[in-house]
Amino acid sequence: MRLYYSPTSPYVRKVMMVLHETGQLDQVDLITAGGTPYETAARPASSNPLGKVPALERPDGPALYDSRVITRYLDARGKGGLYPEGEALWDALTLEATADGILDAALLMVYEGRLRPEDKHVPEFVEAQWVKIDRALSALEERWMAHLQGPFGIGQIAVLAALGYLDLRHAARGWRAAHPGLSAWFDAQATRPSFAATAP
């Protein structure tokens, strides 16, 4: 298998954590892919027509893309048990979607600052993205702590990747102060080998 990736992408980090957790890292060749939303030529357009990472080329079918598709495939392939069965699956998928929504908003904030000319920045747009993030963090703190403290799976992986990205790109926002329970959980999980090994 070949994985097109960027070491700073939080979506890639989710995939890398699943590779570590399922013992499949040595079965994947890592291919660095770069670019921006404006410059997609350097991205894996032949494997993902959207020109985004991660994209996984596999020997038994067309390339897979979107981190949620790749992680589910790798978990099934490696029999990792990161996706629970029965009713618990819907909680895990919702938790993963919440974490990915945090990442979507956090990336839009980065793009606004890096890709638009300074005289075209829209502060209200950036603040609106942070409101979404803060609301999602509050939901994790108030509704999801019991799940996060349960058996380790895809929900925890996604939340770790999201919080790690907030620390990397938006630490000045101080998300931890308003969400002490979530912060304590994150710090306790940060030593997990799959998370530590995938730090950007």
Let me know if residue 42 belongs to a domain.
yes
Q: Which domain holds residue 154?
A: 88-192
CA distance to 1, 63, 77, 150, 199, per residue, from 60 (Å): 9, 9, 11, 34, 30
- Tens of pLDDT, residue by residue over 46-62, are 677 777 899 999 988 89
Most confident of 5-9, 108-112, 180-184: 180-184
- Written as six digits, the tokens of 193 are 């080998």
In this structure, the answer to whether residues 122 and 171 fall within a common structural domain is: yes
Let me know if residue 83 belongs to a domain.
no
- Tens of pLDDT, residue by residue over 148-157, are 999 999 999 9
- Give me the pLDDT at residue 116, please: 80
**Radius of gyration for the chain, computed over Cα atoms and rounded to the nearest angstrom:** 17
pTM, to two decimals = 0.94
Burial of 96 (0-12, 13-18, 19+ CB in 10 A): buried
Chain mean position to CA 80: 18
- Give me the pLDDT at residue 82, please: 98
pLDDT band at 74 (very low <50, low <70, confident <90, very high): very high
Let me know if residue 179 belongs to a domain.
yes
Would you list the DSSP string of 147-188? HHTSS--HHHHHHHHHHHHHHHH-GGG-HHHH-HHHHHHHHH
- Give me the pLDDT at residue 49, please: 74
Rounded Cα gap, residues 60 and 177, in angstroms: 47
Q: How many domains is the chain partitioned into structurally?
A: 2
- Tens of pLDDT, residue by residue over 97-140, are 999 999 999 999 998 888 788 888 899 999 999 999 999 999 99
- Of 45, 78, 111, the last residue of a domain is 78
- Of 27, 46, 78, the last residue of a domain is 78
Rounded Cα gap, residues 55 and 67, in angstroms: 8
In this structure, the answer to whether residues 121 and 40 fall within a common structural domain is: no
Backbone conformation region of residue 35, classed left if phi is above 0, alpha if psi is from -120 to 50, else beta = left
In this structure, the answer to whether residues 96 and 170 fall within a common structural domain is: yes
- Give me the pLDDT at residue 15, please: 98
In this structure, the answer to whether residues 70 and 106 fall within a common structural domain is: no
- Give me the pLDDT at residue 114, please: 80
